[in-house]
Structure 1
Amino acid sequence: MFKKPKMIVFQAVMISVILGVACGSPLKSPIFRSLARPPTRVGVPQVRSDDVSAVVLSRTDDVRPDGFDTSLETSNSIRGAASGDAYGNIHGSFGWVSPEGVPVSLTYVADENGYQPQGDALPTPPPVPIEIQRALAYIAAHPPAPEGQIVRKTIFG
């Protein structure tokens, strides 16, 4: 009436093997192949050949107790120069030629006021709207009352 435990274990193992083979076999249906995503192409940045083989044309480094001077120029038109003093103030410039062939140049100062770059390649903020300019002029012309002083204005003056 009841099966032996070894027979039950054998049947369970056989069912597991059959299900494993059935689930693990590749599907030959074209429906599932069409649902697969095509391979994604990853873009590799293009590097100009002169950038790959660029060499240093000149480099100077002069480090002194009262500051430093350094400069660099490469064969692919990258250049930079910087000078610094004993107080940590640095000013310099650097530049390169863009992929479009346009020379890009930046100058900078780094001192107690922070890093201050200047150049045509830097983004600029949009102009301040005229309404905001008027509001700022009004605020400057009508400063607020000092703290603690109550200003009472009535409609009837």
Structure 2
Amino acid sequence: MKITTGLFAVLMIVTTVCCQQQEAIIRNDFEGPNPDGTYKWALQTEGGIYHEQRGSVQSSGSEPSLLVEGQYQYTAPDGQIINVLYRADENGFQAQGDHLPTPPPIPAAIQRALDYIASLTPSIDNQYK
């Protein structure tokens, strides 16, 4: 068992070292955290990886929360440039990008049925008491 665990650890280290690409960082800007809780940073490599982010403390509701906005970009193995814009706040992480899947449109017949149902006024007889 110890030999298997040791062999696995050695293989993990060799794989990690062999598969990593060393790219020079051509941009490395950091500002903050500032006294008001804001910060921003940007990082870019010569291989085309780019990531920037900014954050601030928001006073919405009873407790302050952190608002983080940013974007990152890289080239996928198939050559496609992936660009993601994101926002993270009290509603969670919300990402936008052309490569992200989207739901199919609602078929016209289903949309008409939904519109019809929404136009009906509820009757007193149909409500649960």
Q: TM-score, normalised by structure 1?
A: 0.57
Larger Rg: 1
Match of 1:113 among 91, 106, 111: 91
Aligned to 1:17: none
Unaligned runs of 5+ in 2: 1-17, 59-65
Following TM superposition, by how much is the alpha carbon of 1:101 offset from its aligned partner in structure 2, in angstroms? 2.1
1:83 counterpart (38, 54, 57): 54
Q: Pick from 44, 63, 80: which aligns with 1:102?
A: 80
User: Which string of whole-angstrom CA distances, capped at 9 and with x for unpartnered residues, describes residues 58-77 of structure 1?
Assistant: 21221212211011101211
For the pair 1:61 / 2:39, whether they are aligned, the reply is no
TM-score of the pair, normalised by structure 2: 0.68
Matches within 5 A, 1:1-157: 52-63=21-32, 64-66=34-36, 67-87=38-58, 88-145=66-123, 149-150=124-125
Identical pairs, percent = 35
Structure 1: state its 5+ residue gaps.
Answer: 1-48, 152-157
Alignment size in residue pairs: 100
Structure with the higher fraction of residues in strand conformation: 2
CA drift at 1:144: 2.3
Q: Deviations over 1:68-122 (max 9, x none)?
A: 1011101211100011112211111000012222221111111233222111011
How well do the aligned residues superpose, as a CA RMSD in angstroms?
A: 2.1
Kept in 2, the 8 Å contact 1:109–1:116? The answer is yes
User: Which structure 1 residue ranges, 4+ long, deviate > 4 Å from structure 2?
Assistant: none
Greater relative contact order (Cα < 8 A, sep 6+)? 2
